[in-house]
Amino acid sequence: MPSPRGSRERRSARPEFASLLSQRGPGAPDSPSRRRESAGSAPPPLPEEDCMRLNPSFVGIALSSLLAVDLWASKRLGVCAGEASAWGSARPLLKVVEVSGHGIPWLLGTFYGLCQSDSSAAREVLLNLFFALVLDLVLVAVVKGIVKRPRPTHNKMDMFVTVSVDKYSFPSGHATRAALVCRFVLHHLVLAIPLRVLVVLWVLIVGISRVMLGRHNVTDVLFGLFLGYVLYSVVEYCWLSPLNAPALFALWSH
């Protein structure tokens, strides 16, 4: 026969159990109905930024692939980056080509010709060439300072007369200058066809030598050639003449 004390404990436990069930409610996680509802509900969508990280755009993938190919090709083509490289014996010759595309010889040569010229037509051409070379130096320095792409790791910093921005490689100043000078010379000098071909070949050799010496990546040179080509169009649009810049021509008149 149960004792009165035991029956009182069972009676007091039933209300506590009933109150616990009422708090959990019919939709408690352990109930079958709750499990059916959770199984049939779809997971919440991911935020938009998470979707973008998980699914990169086609443009991003294409640019990453292009950069990888660019670095790989530049490394393989840098056959004159050092004396111990595959074509290291040709390095002195390519450094002569490097000087031929440097800005300082072109600026000094143009300035000297401007001072020695007695023809007003020749002074006009040389003054605009000098303006184009200065514009080229400024524009390339600005772009290098903005992009700040480091030079290839296999490059030796033994370049001819450098400044602070020359530690960056994009774009190639030599390639920009070569394309600019090429268009300028072909449009304003009367040259025989063999000489015109030599000018174009010089541009190609300067561009290729920048990669072979390890100075630049392939895309640095390609963009430099494009920039120089476009820059000549800007010079032509802003062409200086005695009519729109009389003060400048008065300085060089004898």
| pLDDT per position as a tens digit, 38-50 | 545 555 554 444 4
**Which of 117, 231, 126 minimizes the C-alpha distance to 185?**
126
Asked whether 154 and 168 are in contact (CB, 8 A), the reply is no
Strand blocks (E) in 40-118: none
Backbone dihedral region for residue 163 (phi beyond 0: left; psi -120 to 50: alpha; all else: beta): beta
**Predicted local distance difference test score (pLDDT) of residue 44:** 58
Q: Can you tell me the distance from the alpha carbon of 245 to that of 250, in angstroms, rounded to the nearest whole number?
A: 9
The reported pLDDT for the residue numbered 42 is 54
**Which pLDDT does position 215 carry in this prediction?**
92
Show Cβ contacts of residue 16 under 8 Å, excluding neighbours closer than 6 positions. none
Residue of 98, 97, 102, 93 lying closest to 181 (CA atoms): 102
Low-confidence ranges of the chain (pLDDT < 50): 1-2, 6, 8-13, 17-18, 20-21, 23-29, 34-36, 39, 46-52, 54
User: What was the pLDDT predicted at 227?
Assistant: 96
* pLDDT on residue 247: 81
Q: Catalytic residue, from 154, 188, 216, 254: name it.
A: 216
205's CB contacts (< 8 A; 6+ apart) are 97
Give long-range contacts, CB 8 A cutoff, 24+ apart: 116-121. 117/252, 118/254, 120/242, 120/249, 120/253
> What residue segments make up the domains of the chain, in order of their start?
4-54, 76-251
Please say if 174 is a catalytic residue. Answer: yes
Residue 206 one-letter amino acid: V
Give the pLDDT score at 46: 46
Catalytic residue among 102, 174, 188, 254: 174
Is 216 marked active-site? yes
CB 140, CB 173: distance < 8 Å: yes
